[in-house]
Amino acid sequence: MQRRTVLTALAAWPAGAALAHHGWSSFDQDRPLYLEGVARNVAWRNPHAEFDLEVPADLRVPADLARRPVPAQSASVDGARVLAEAKTPTRRDKVWHVELSPLTRLQAWKVPEIRNGDRVSMVGFTFAGEKGEPVLRVEYLFVGASTYGLRSSPA
């Protein structure tokens, strides 16, 4: 009985949904990107929270980005390097789709729920050569004065 329910649910799932979701290994981690803007269409759910980000036309990397503190577990690994190497995208999309981590990790970090209209900034990764859809997997999320490292849970 339970198997039939699962199969029915999978059959009803839109065919494009499976193609639209991609694993974390799809992203180019050699070129960190900085984005900021206004969150829209927020989906605070698993498998990961996500939203669309309206990016300003005059997007620039903040002068203090490389000096911002990073969480302890990434400080000695590559946190400072990622922030120091962050660039703005070469493509000029006005809206990017942003993928955060699973809710359990966001809750462990005590990330406040992002809502439509919130201003947020982040550093993360997109596809190699910035090809395909404008998607960013977030490595560091900046909300107010807080920095959240979304690769791992808090130390």
pLDDT for the residue numbered 25? 67
Q: Are strands 135-143 and 33-43 parallel, antiparallel or unpaired?
A: unpaired
Query: For the segment 65-104, what is each residue's pLDDT rounded down to a tens digit?
Result: 999 988 887 776 788 899 999 999 999 999 999 999 999 9
The overall average pLDDT reported for the chain is: 85
Contacts (Cβ under 8 Å, ≥6 apart) of 50: 42, 43, 97, 98, 99, 100
Structural domain including 27 reads 22-149
Tell me, yes or no, whether 2 lies in a domain: no
Taking alpha carbons only, the member of 48, 58, 64 closest to residue 123 is 64
**How many domains does the structure of the chain reveal?**
1
pLDDT for the residue numbered 142? 95
Q: Provide the CATH number for the domain around residue 27.
A: 2.40.50.140
pLDDT for the residue numbered 133? 94
Rounded mean pLDDT, 16-27 = 53
Neighbours of 82 (CB within 10 A): 22
Tell me, yes or no, whether 46 lies in a domain: yes
Q: Is 4 helix (H, G, I), strand (E, B) or coil?
A: helix
pLDDT for the residue numbered 72? 80
Query: Can you tell me the distance from the alpha carbon of 62 to that of 67, in angstroms, rounded to the nearest whole number?
Result: 10
